[in-house]
Structure 1
Amino acid sequence: MELSGTVLWGEDYEPVQGTLVVDDGEIVRLDEERTDSTDIVLPAFVNAHTHIGDSIAKEAGRGLTLEELVAPPDGLKHRLLREADRSELVEAMRRSLQFMAETGTAATLEFREGGLEGVHAIREAAKGVGVEPFVFGRGDPAVVDAADGYGASGAADGEFGRERNAARTAGKPFAIHAGEVDATDINPALDLDPDMLVHMVHAEQLHLDRVEDNGIPVAVCPRSNLVTDVGLPPVRELLDRTTVALGTDNVMTNSPSMFREMEFVAKCCDVEAPEVLEMATRAGASVVDGNYGVVKAGREARLLVLDGDSHNLAGARDVVRAVVRRAGSSDVERVVLP
């Protein structure tokens, strides 16, 4: 397979005109050459934090606090998940995954409620869609055996020492929400030596120092934090300390659109376009050791092709900036997924 146009090549997303050669699902090389194609070729997105089960309750819970919406065990989403028919849940998740595939997302780091059955349900929903769910199971520590890792709700909800040990024994990552509502649960979360923290809206200097010292990556979800009125994460400060990946969080409150998330963080936080694109691609892949998220020889060919001559993108002087701040689903020409 060959893809021609402007290729955002390598870890710096350098716009290079040429033809990208792909063989058997792997990027082989980029031949720099003049081409008539106006396409823009970039790595497909990696959504670093989702709750796709919430697809059964889109836009539910208007006027509720964050705790009333999502706090276990009796937040609105958990009640709706318990009440949902399994086939209804699987179909709702499949529809969200299909939307993600159509809008350029190759993989998602999913916090999956429902224990072992929840893990099986999302794997069923993802069959044939093309988006790879990296499933952080929740509930009984034994769920780690079937999941790809363990995703804890937060240190305020429990100690999670058994779950952390189970993940470590299985050689799988342990991730945990921290600092979403306030700072009180951040140090206890850090004490668990997690492989990823989620949110960190209320991170203070001590927490930032600990994150940097231990090299812990952070997934931020700015649109979700805005909707739930908890504030915005200190993205610039986090980027100066560690790997920061971008997620869309609960489908209940936000569409799983990485285009929307990139535009929001680019315009509301002190970050440059290449940094945002890295947050939406390579950073999330690195958390789970994925061999994708960057257009480079030897990497998996999980790619997004945009129409650079669309009404929206035609005339862009800075291609990376246009992709991050302006591009949307209507500009998608092709998505290359496994």
Structure 2
Amino acid sequence: MHLEGTILVGREFEPVEGRVVTADGEIVRIESCAVDSDDVILPAFVNAHTHIGDSIAKEAGEGLTLDELVAPPDGLKHRLLRAASHAEKVEAMARTLRYMESTGTGTFIEFREGGIPGVEALRDALSGSGVEYGARDIDAVVLGRDDPDVLAVADGYGASGARDGEFESVRTATGEAGKLFGIHAGERDADDINPAMDLDPDFLVHMVHAEPLHLDRLEDRGTPVVVCPRSNLVTKVGVPQVRELSARTKVALGTDNVMLDSPSMFREMEFAAKLADLPAREVLRMATVNGAEIAGLNRGVVEEGADARLLVLDGDSDNLAGAHDLVRAIVRRAGHADVKRVVLDGTPLRRE
């Protein structure tokens, strides 16, 4: 198949008028040529940190502290997850998956609560088992939690935080299995950052309270960070130093708990861009290729040989028409209504 329009090529998202040719789920050719299309073609988003099990409890817990909301084992979200049936969780997650696809997300990194049953529930939601919406084409990198044995069925382990338990043994097991290990750090304060970094994780999440020492360690080790600024604002823990972090290491964007925020990468990009006043291209990398690289995936960029997971926006929409800087317009103002097509594994999913 092929797509025509203005193509945002490579890591710099250089606009090229022409055609993207795909085959067998891969970008095989980018042709520069005159085309009669206002479409804008860019990589599908990579949401680098989610908790979509929270789909059963959207906007629950107003006024609660971070610990009261999400701290294991008895934060509000954990109590609600325990109370919900397998079918209820699968149905709620399936709805979120459908929304994520429709807003241009092609891949997400999920910290999945509930051990092996929790991972199985997400797999059921992805496969369409027991839900009316059918299988989804969005890809999940599923990091299990709450049980070391979850590594048998998960793509890695997503630890809650160094203050919540001892993770050395599961970190060792994850490394021996060649799987991904991520951990929350520096969300409410700086106390758990060094212990988290001592585990040599593949990436850290949040780092709201990173201090100069921690920034130096990040730079020395090259440890990536996933930031979730909207979530941090909602839980009143502060906001990450996105500009400072991005100057030291690779930074990706995540939307965090569905309980607190919609899993829209458009909203996360806009908030992060205006919060940190970073160049639009840097923010778009945070929403695409940086997250893909953290997960070890060949996507998040439009170039030959990359996975054909693409987002097509209507460049002539009332919202985007007249943009002088196309990448800046996408990062700061584009949204759900501008999505024309989402192409995952070479198959177009047209908006209904």
- Paired residues, number: 338
Tell me what 1:223 maps to: 230
Determine if contact 1:153/1:177 at 8 Å carries over to the other structure: yes
Identity %: 67
Q: Which amino acid aligns with 1:62?
A: E
Structure 2 partner of 1:147: 154
- Determine the structure 1 residue equivalent to 2:253: 246
Q: Following the alignment from structure 2 to structure 1, what is the Cα–Cα distance between the partners of residues 20 and 176?
A: 41
User: Partner residue of 2:63?
Assistant: 63
Q: 2:281 aligns with which of 274, 285, 299?
A: 274
- The structural deviation recorded for 1:219 is 0.3
Deviations 1:268-324 (A, max 9, x none): 113110000000000000011111100000011000000000000011111100110
CA–CA distance in 2 between the matches of 1:142 and 1:171? 15
Task: Give, as a single letter, the amino acid of the residue that structure 1 aligns with 2:307.
Answer: E
Once residues 56 and 182 of structure 2 are traced to their aligned partners in structure 1, the CA distance between those partners, rounded to angstroms, is 24
Output aligned runs, 1:175-186, within 5 Å.
Answer: 175-186=182-193
| Mapping 1:313-328, distance limit 5 Å | 313-328=320-335
User: Deviating runs (4+, > 2 A) in structure 1?
Assistant: none
Q: Distance in 2 between matches of 1:135 and 1:251?
A: 16
Over aligned residue pairs, what C-alpha RMSD do you find?
Answer: 0.7
Shift of 1:145: 1.6
Unaligned 5+ segments in structure 2 are 128-134, 346-352
Separation in structure 2 between the aligned mates of residue 236 and residue 22 of structure 1, nearest angstrom: 35
Q: Which residue number in structure 2 is paired with residue 39 of structure 1?
A: 39
1:166 aligned partner: 173
Partner of 2:88: 88
Rounded to whole Å, the distance in 1 between the matches of 2:172 and 2:334 is 42
TM-score computed with the length of structure 1 as normaliser: 0.99
> How far did residue 130 of structure 1 move?
1.0
In the alignment, the residues of structure 2 paired with residue 277 and residue 151 of structure 1 have an alpha-carbon distance, to the nearest angstrom, of 24
Q: 1:240 is paired with a residue of what secondary structure?
A: helix
The amino acid across from 2:240 in the alignment is: P
1:1-338 correspondence runs (5 A): 1-127=1-127, 128-338=135-345
Paired letter, 2:65: T
Deviation at 1:227, TM superposition (A): 0.5
Q: Residue 59 of structure 1: CA displacement?
A: 0.3
Contact 1:145 1:170 in 2 (8 A): no
Deviates more, 1:133-142 or 1:247-256: 133-142
Give the whole-Å Cα distance in 2 for the aligned partners of 1:294 and 1:119: 28
2-structure distance, mates of 1:323, 1:148:
31
> What is the letter of the counterpart of residue 101 of structure 2?
A
CA contact under 8 A between 1:235 and 1:270: conserved in structure 2? Answer: no
Partner-residue secondary structure (3-state), 2:230: helix
Provide, for residues 99-145 of structure 1, a one-character-per-residue CA deviation record: whole Å limited to 9, x for no partner: 00111100110000000011111011112211111001001211112
Q: Distance in 1 between matches of 2:238 and 2:146?
A: 28
SS in 2 for 1:61: coil
TM-score (norm 2): 0.95
Question: Which residue identity lines up with residue 37 of structure 2 in the other structure?
Answer: S
Tell me which amino acid in the other structure corresponds to 2:156.
G
Contact preservation (8 Å) 1:142, 1:166? no
